[in-house]
């Protein structure tokens, strides 16, 4: 096995084959399984999880349930599967609706699963503060009466982080208390809740206490190859296990994936309940450093940096998303326009290359290149401002 390139500032054992993830800043999904994860897979248990006999899987579920202070947990193949099963198990029957932020993964990136699997209507809310929903937003849009014209809100689904930004514990608590008063159930799309905890905003258990169910991803910033987990009350998780089977998500020798997920929790998130000893905090510090580089050059940000995700206002530097991506590619960096994720496998060498990209953006802003024949047809795409 290629142990990765320790020259890029990341220990070789943190990156899988070739260390390509160290130069891929498009998404934290581009993290690759570590040597420790691959080793754990090679010695994992090989029992049947549909029979509920695989110890590695049972232990992982018990461990994450305990971390979150919940009764039970269920390993699932993806975050989408986790969200959709949790919502299906919290909802009963129409008429019913789910209230969420208008940018939520559950409505934008899950192929309409809430409609097809749960037959629920979505109440998509634009947060007034532009960053996260507040209780005021929720109260204004939730439907709590029994008027026959209305579609009652049965679940409030909050995403944390959303766009890398943290919804503060205090606001989550306010919304949760109000929801419980009104018999509305709470789901958290916590694909990146690990990052929230690593940022110091509260513990997993403190956040999870506000929700009936929480979905947590192993294959984003934690670096596992596959999988997510949902935590919640026994009866809900039991129902989700049943539903998981119905959509073909019952797993046989699940140890080959849950062994890697366990390493992701213990090593990447960290052994302590607040991610103590983990590797995420450092990725947040890298993001802050990159933000400083950009803003000191005069660049603006589209959103604040709370974790390891940055949203560069490329237009503020007169650069298009395509040009920015191209400048990265010329230096062996994978970028995708304005969003950058400095996941924990992004090394020092990548930050250096990114600095060069920023410098080039600044240089082109000051001296816009004349559009030669190659660019003559796509002048509208490359917007240069003096």
Ligand X SMILES: *Cc1c(COP(=O)(O)O)cnc(C)c1O
Q: List residues near ligand X by CB under 6 A.
A: 78-80, 83, 105, 159, 189, 191, 217, 220, 228
Q: Tell me whether the omega of the peptide bond preceding residue 381 falls within 30 degrees of 0, making it cis.
A: no
Backbone φ, ψ for residue 187 (5° rounding): -120, 140
Complex with ligand X: residue 192 or 281, whichever CB lies closer: 192
Complex with ligand X: residue 131 or 293, whichever CB lies closer: 131
> Residue 3 Cβ, how far from ligand X at the closest point, in Å?
27
Nearest residue to ligand X, by Cβ distance, number only? 79
- Is 222:343 a contact under the CB 8 Å cutoff? no
- Residue the block writes with tokens 């990265």: 328
Give the rounded distance of the alpha carbon of 191 from its chain centre: 4
> Residue 376 Cβ, how far from ligand X at the closest point, in Å?
39
- Residue the block writes with tokens 């037959």: 119
> Residue 124 Cβ, how far from ligand X at the closest point, in Å?
15
280 CB-near residues (< 8 Å, 6+ apart): 194, 195, 198, 221, 268, 269, 270, 307, 308, 344
> Residue 184 Cβ, how far from ligand X at the closest point, in Å?
21
> Residue 216 Cβ, how far from ligand X at the closest point, in Å?
10
Cα 270-210-233 angle, rounded to 5 deg: 85
Q: Coil, strand, or helix at residue 131?
A: coil
Complex with ligand X: residue 175 or 327, whichever CB lies closer: 175
> Residue 90 Cβ, how far from ligand X at the closest point, in Å?
16
Which residue from 158, 195, 22 is spatially nearest to 83, judged by alpha carbons? 158
> Residue 113 Cβ, how far from ligand X at the closest point, in Å?
10
Which residue from 102, 97, 73, 69 is spatially nearest to 86, judged by alpha carbons? 73
Complex with ligand X: residue 153 or 307, whichever CB lies closer: 307
> Residue 78 Cβ, how far from ligand X at the closest point, in Å?
3
Pairing of strands 309-313, 339-341: antiparallel
> Residue 138 Cβ, how far from ligand X at the closest point, in Å?
19
What secondary structure does DSSP assign to 319-374, as a single string? --HHHHHHHHHTTT-B-BTTEEE--TT--HHHHHHHHHHHHHHHHHHHSPPP--HH
Backbone φ, ψ for residue 374 (5° rounding): -60, -35
Complex with ligand X: residue 121 or 191, whichever CB lies closer: 191
Instruction: Name 97's bridge partners.
Output: 121, 153
Complex with ligand X: residue 80 or 286, whichever CB lies closer: 80
Complex with ligand X: residue 212 or 364, whichever CB lies closer: 212
195 CB-near residues (< 8 Å, 6+ apart): 161, 164, 166, 221, 280, 284, 307, 308
**Residue 153: both structure tokens together:** 């809100």
d(CA 340, CA 336): 8
> Residue 83 Cβ, how far from ligand X at the closest point, in Å?
6
Q: Tell me whether the omega of the peptide bond preceding residue 145 falls within 30 degrees of 0, making it cis.
A: no
Complex with ligand X: residue 160 or 286, whichever CB lies closer: 160
- Within 10 angstroms of residue 115's Cβ, the number of other Cβ atoms is 13
Complex with ligand X: residue 79 or 278, whichever CB lies closer: 79
């Amino acid at each position: 096995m290629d142990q990765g390139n320790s020259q890029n500032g990341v220990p070789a054992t943190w990156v899988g084959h070739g260390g390509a993830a160290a130069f891929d800043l498009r998404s934290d999904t581009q993290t690759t399984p570590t040597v420790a994860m691959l080793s754990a897979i090679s010695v994992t248990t090989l029992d049947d999880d549909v029979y509920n006999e695989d110890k590695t899987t049972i232990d992982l579920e018990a461990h994450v349930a305990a971390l979150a202070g919940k009764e039970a947990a269920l390993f699932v193949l993806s975050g989408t599967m986790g969200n959709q099963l949790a919502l299906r198990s919290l909802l009963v029957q129409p008429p019913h609706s789910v209230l969420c932020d208008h940018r939520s993964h559950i409505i934008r990136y899950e192929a309409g699963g809430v409609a097809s699997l749960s037959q629920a209507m979505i109440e998509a809310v634009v947060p007034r503060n532009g960053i996260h929903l507040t209780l005021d937003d929720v109260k204004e849009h939730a439907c709590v009466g029994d008027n026959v014209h209305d579609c009652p809100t049965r679940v409030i689904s909050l995403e944390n982080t959303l766009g890398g930004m943290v919804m503060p514990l205090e606001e989550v608590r306010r919304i949760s208390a109000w929801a419980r008063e009104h018999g509305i159930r709470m789901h958290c799309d916590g694909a990146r809740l690990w990052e929230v905890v690593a940022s110091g905003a509260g513990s997993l258990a403190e956040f999870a206490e506000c929700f009936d169910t929480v979905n947590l991803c192993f294959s984003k910033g934690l670096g596992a190859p596959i999988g997510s987990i949902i935590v919640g009350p026994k009866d809900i998780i039991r129902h989700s296990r049943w539903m998981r089977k119905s959509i073909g998500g019952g797993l046989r020798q699940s140890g080959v994936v849950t062994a890697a997920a366990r390493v992701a929790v213990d090593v990447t998130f960290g052994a302590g309940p607040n991610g103590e000893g983990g590797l995420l905090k450092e990725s947040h510090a890298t993001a802050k450093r990159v933000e400083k580089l950009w803003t000191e050059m005069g660049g603006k940000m589209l959103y604040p940096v709370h974790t390891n995700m940055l949203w560069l206002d490329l237009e503020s530097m007169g650069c298009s998303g395509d040009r920015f991506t191209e400048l990265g590619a010329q230096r062996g960096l994978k970028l995708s326009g304005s969003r950058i994720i400095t996941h924990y496998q992004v090394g020092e060498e990548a930050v250096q290359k990114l600095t060069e990209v920023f410098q080039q953006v600044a240089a082109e802003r000051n001296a816009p290149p004349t559009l030669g024949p190659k660019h003559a047809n796509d002048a509208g795409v490359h917007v240069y401002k003096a």
